[in-house]
Structure 1
Amino acid sequence: MYIYHLIHFIYTFLVVFISNIASSQISSILLDANTEQPIPYVNIFVEHELIGTTSDINGKFDLQIENSKVVVFSAIGYEIKKIFSDSISQFTILNPSITELSEVIITAKKETKKLKIGKFKKSKINLYFNCGQTPWIIERYFPYKKEYEKTTFLNKIRISTNSNLDEAKFNLRLYSKDQNNKPGENLYNKNIIGTAKKGNKITGVDLSELNIQFPKDGFFIVIEWLLIESNMYTLDIERKSDRGASKWVSYEPAIGTVPSDTNKNSWQFNQGHWSKIKKNTETSLKKHKNKYSLLAIELILTN
């Protein structure tokens, strides 16, 4: 009997020991290499896997990882960094990216003309992109048209949002188009944070002070969910097949979509690469059945 208990103890110890080696939680604070200031809202994911998180307002993040994996850090204005998880220490340094800026002439603008493109009705939005516990990015491409010549400045972006929480934050990125028609260079080298109110809303993001002109090759509006504690929504779901309840976790807000016959202008970034949006084949909504989901974004241009 004693030998049995001894073997059982050793077995249990080894299971726990190996488990602790295989799975661990890493914590770190992201810092700017030049200023040594914390970097908030950095997209952090494990390469080729659906695992990731976002740094909080103080640059801190926690990530549960099994074994040693390559962790990727992606933030606007910084070089992409890849590092093995078992090499991550208390502080992780990111290097600012070097961007060559062309000459900019500042002139006084008289906003006498405005043009709305991508119009949608809030009452018609009934299918949304949601973010669970996996970081991902969704985008919509806006092609340039000759009719925009007299209103070339980006004034405001209006986005369909639906949130279970108040003050849910998300990040906007603006990308030019590369030679493969994918998102290329950043048009603006800083985070553009939007804040969605609780409920089904139209969330506006003001771009008027950025003096960004509509590129002749068109551009991408990218929405990035922030996997931070203040955005986390938890719901208890009862299950008939077993006792108790399971927890469903999402990161707010959900982003509204409109049906499209093509996915030409819809891309997503997941597991380190861009891919086209897939067709909706299982939805019960007739107008979205066998269609592609296009972000419900209205863009206001001005002169």
Structure 2
Amino acid sequence: MKKALLITFFLISNICFGQLKSVIIDSETKGKIPYVNIWVENENIGTTSNENGEFELEIDGNKIVLFSAIGFETRKISSDSIKNTVKLKPLITELEEIVISSKKLTQELTIGEFKKSKINNYFGCGIKPWITARYFEYKDDYEKTSFLKTIRVLTKSDVKNSKFNIRLYGVRENGEPKNYIYNQNIIGIAKKGKKTTEIDVSKLNIEFPKSGFFIAIEWFIIEENKYEYKYTMEGSRKKLEGISYEPAIGTIPAETDENSWIFNQGKWRKVWKNNGGIKKYNGKYSLMAIELTLSN
């Protein structure tokens, strides 16, 4: 286990053979697309394109590769057909309602408060990208402060200035995330150590949807986020080498799984129940430590 804290890694190592190398571009503008998350379908293998849209991926045999980027249609491609470029089509769908207007910030309301010092359980990322989402329900109390001003996330990073992405989703009938209420990347920068990372989104003028919405954290498998460490298994003195992609995201214990979802290999599913580990989390569900400031 990484250091003395409980960090839940969704992914494990996998031995792979054969290398794909390509650049991801916009099918219409031909511009390069950064931070595209890439999975091998039904496999624990994945990566993220860098700032220039470039990626390398090792796989064994011919597999289906899934490409996911905010603002673009998710695409599945057979690995043997991937050449020098991969084209993604811009997503043409109606966004969830966004209200844009001039406004003066005279009132604020904070929701989802957490105590940094009380949190010692985290979601972490191994060698494959994934997304975890937290649902925020709309309440009548938000009517006078219905615009999203800041998002605060508890992060813990072992590297300087690790990057992560924030996606904002609406809600499907079955309760899972669907569509975007904002269709561009919102990049967060986590400083080294245990920090409350704040992202100012006030200029986006996003109004809290009456149906509620999800805030999702997306990890990037990029070199600047990579952290290599050594660890030992219980009952053994042998030192093993591990890799994580920072930052880890703090979680709070929840009684139900209804507000916490995970996206991997192109599918959403509910978060799992914690078994063992830290006492106050045992038998409960992990909910990301996210605090929102709303304004008028």
TM over 0.5: yes
What is the aligned counterpart of 1:93 among 57, 69, 87? Answer: 87
Q: Secondary structure at the match of 2:129?
A: coil
Question: Does structure 1 residue 30 correspond to structure 2 residue 29?
Answer: no
| Distance of 2:87 and 2:107 partners within structure 1 | 45
Higher-helix-fraction structure: 1
For residues 213-244 of structure 1, give each alpha carbon's deviation from its aligned partner in whole angstroms, at most 9, with x where no partner exists: 0000100000000000110000133678586x
Q: Secondary structure at the match of 2:18?
A: strand
The count of residues paired between Structure 1 and Structure 2 equals 280
**1:292 corresponding residue in structure 2:** 285
Counterparts of residues 1-303 of structure 1 (less than 5 Å): 23-100=17-94, 106-237=100-231, 245-283=239-277, 285-303=278-296
Q: Is the 8 A contact 2:131 2:218 kept in 1?
A: yes
The more displaced of 37-46 and 103-112 is 103-112
Q: Secondary structure at the match of 1:35?
A: coil
In the alignment, residue 255 of structure 2 is paired with which amino acid? D
In structure 2, list runs of 5 or more residues that go unmatched.
Answer: 1-15
Q: Is the 8 A contact 1:128 1:254 kept in 2?
A: yes
Relative to 1, partners in 2 of residues 1:105 and 1:79: Cα closer, same or farther, differing over 3 Å?
closer
Q: Is the 8 A contact 1:50 1:135 kept in 2?
A: no
Query: Deviation at 1:209?
Result: 0.6
Q: Secondary structure at the match of 1:98?
A: coil
| Distance of 1:53 and 1:136 partners within structure 2 | 10
Query: Deviation at 1:45?
Result: 0.2
CA RMSD of aligned residues (A): 1.8
Q: Is the 8 A contact 2:96 2:181 kept in 1?
A: no
Q: Secondary structure at the match of 1:138?
A: strand
Q: TM-score, normalised by structure 2?
A: 0.91
For residues 115-152 of structure 1, give each alpha carbon's deviation from its aligned partner in whole angstroms, at most 9, with x where no partner exists: 00000011011100010112211110001001001011
In structure 1, list runs of 5 or more residues that go unmatched.
Answer: 1-21
Query: Deviation at 1:246?
Result: 2.7
- Same amino acid, percent of matched pairs: 55
For residues 23-77 of structure 1, give each alpha carbon's deviation from its aligned partner in whole angstroms, at most 9, with x where no partner exists: 3110000011111111000010011221111000010011000010000001111
In the alignment, residue 69 of structure 1 is paired with which amino acid? K
In the alignment, residue 184 of structure 1 is paired with which amino acid? K
Larger Rg: 1
The more displaced of 103-112 and 190-199 is 103-112
| Distance of 1:35 and 1:278 partners within structure 2 | 40
| Distance of 2:96 and 2:246 partners within structure 1 | 37
